[in-house]
Structure 1
Amino acid sequence: MQHRDDALHDVAGAHPRNMRPVVDDRCWARDVVSAVRCATALLGMLFLIDWAAGDLTWWRGVLWVVLAVLLFLVLLPARVRAGEGWLSCRRLVRTREVRTDLLVSVHCPDSVSRRLVLRDALGGRTELDPQVLLDNPALWHRLDEDARKSAASGTLRCGTTALRRVSEHIDRETALNVFRASGLR
């Protein structure tokens, strides 16, 4: 059985990470700091309430710390990176990578949370928040360019509608930001 990284070499001739510079989510660090602040604020409020009520004990303190850590883990954003032909989402435990030049499907599942699910021809799958693409035009450009290659080569069987919707949303938000910056809105 062939390992996924070996398959990446076979398909492209060279590992895609060696081709061009990597584009990172430039808002990731800010979002991590925000997650830390929220967890710290919750912990501080829980300690303050328990202390004011006179109920603060060591085991309740441990419980509040565990609760704050869980909140941090829930709020911790995925680190999204992209290069020519690939996109990766690194979460706390695992990194998922897809070959964006070999995309098979792109879809937005109907759920409470907005997610963009990408699948490639090698079995790779990852999910990301479309807001990351909105906040990072270089990431969107990288994904869009490679998705167009996938569509042109015939590997992208379903997902052009989802990509078009994301593209329209990004174009709309970019235009609104330009209008705001110029004082026209």
Structure 2
Amino acid sequence: MGRRFTHAAAGSHDIHWAGERRSAIGVAFLLFTALFAMDAGFGGLDVTRGALWTGLAGLVFVILHPPRVSVRPGLLSARGLLGTDSVRTDSLVSVRWSDGVAQRMVLRDTDGGRVEIDPTVLVRNPAMWRHLDADTRTSIRRGTLLCGSTALRQLAERIDRETARTVFKVSGLQ
């Protein structure tokens, strides 16, 4: 069961979320418009087919809609369309990569909380990574993080590479 996230404490959120949500809306709308126009152009549009195209566009939106990931000291939350999942980042038990088409990082805490996020969110948002990194170090010191040091090290290396690449690009050295 997800825990509620309040914005009272200093924290960070995914600064790219709004753009990704707009993209999901745009793709779903374009699909709906194209299917609707094509069907109307061929003279096959009726209420049933219109409802089918609306449902298909809605499904595409649900699939593409990104969760809103937020991090504050001690807590990481991912709010999706159906609810919010949270983990105590200062008492993590495991951090793992999930296999599949899209790479995901799965975090679990001592209270049984579980959050699955796209690690790119952390790569693109250094403030979020700093909060998470500090809290995972707390989990390691407390001895609760039993599995996940490798996944965190891989993510830290990826973030360091992206940061260096950005510095070189901005300074004109690339």
- Which range, TM-score by smaller chain? over 0.9
Higher relative contact order (CA 8 A, sep 6+): 2
| Corresponding residue number in structure 2 for 1:107 | 96
Matches of residues 2-151 of structure 1 in structure 2 within 5 Å? 20-151=9-140
Paired residue total = 174
Q: Distance in 2 between matches of 1:80 and 1:51?
A: 40
Aligned: 1:153 with 2:153: no
TM-score, length-scaled by structure 1? 0.88
- Which whole-Å deviations, capped at 9, do the CAs of 1:20-68 have from their partners, x for residues lacking one? 3121111111111000000011011101211221111121111101110
Equivalent-residue separation in structure 2 for 1:150 and 1:20 (angstroms): 20
Q: In structure 2, what is the Cα distance between the partners aligned to 1:59 and 1:175?
A: 54
State the superposition RMSD in angstroms.
Answer: 2.0
Q: Which amino acid counterpart does residue 184 of structure 1 have in structure 2?
A: L
Once residues 29 and 2 of structure 2 are traced to their aligned partners in structure 1, the CA distance between those partners, rounded to angstroms, is 40
Give the equivalent residue in structure 1 for 2:167: 178
- Structure 2, unmatched stretches of 5+, are none
- Paired residues of 1:106 and 1:163 also in contact (CA < 8 A): yes
CA distance in 1 between counterparts of 2:31 and 2:6 reads: 40
Q: Give, in angstroms, the shift of residue 181 of structure 1.
A: 1.6
Shift of 1:83: 0.7
Distance 1:36 1:158, change over 3 A: same
* Alignment CA distance shift 1:101-1:23 (3 Å): same
d(CA) in 1 for partners of 2:101, 2:150? 20
Change (3 A) 1:61 1:19: closer
Any conservation in 2 of the 1:16–1:85 contact (CA below 8 Å)?
no
Mapped contact 1:16–1:84 kept (Cα < 8 A): no
Provide the rounded CA distance (Å) in 2 between the counterparts of 1:178 and 1:18: 31
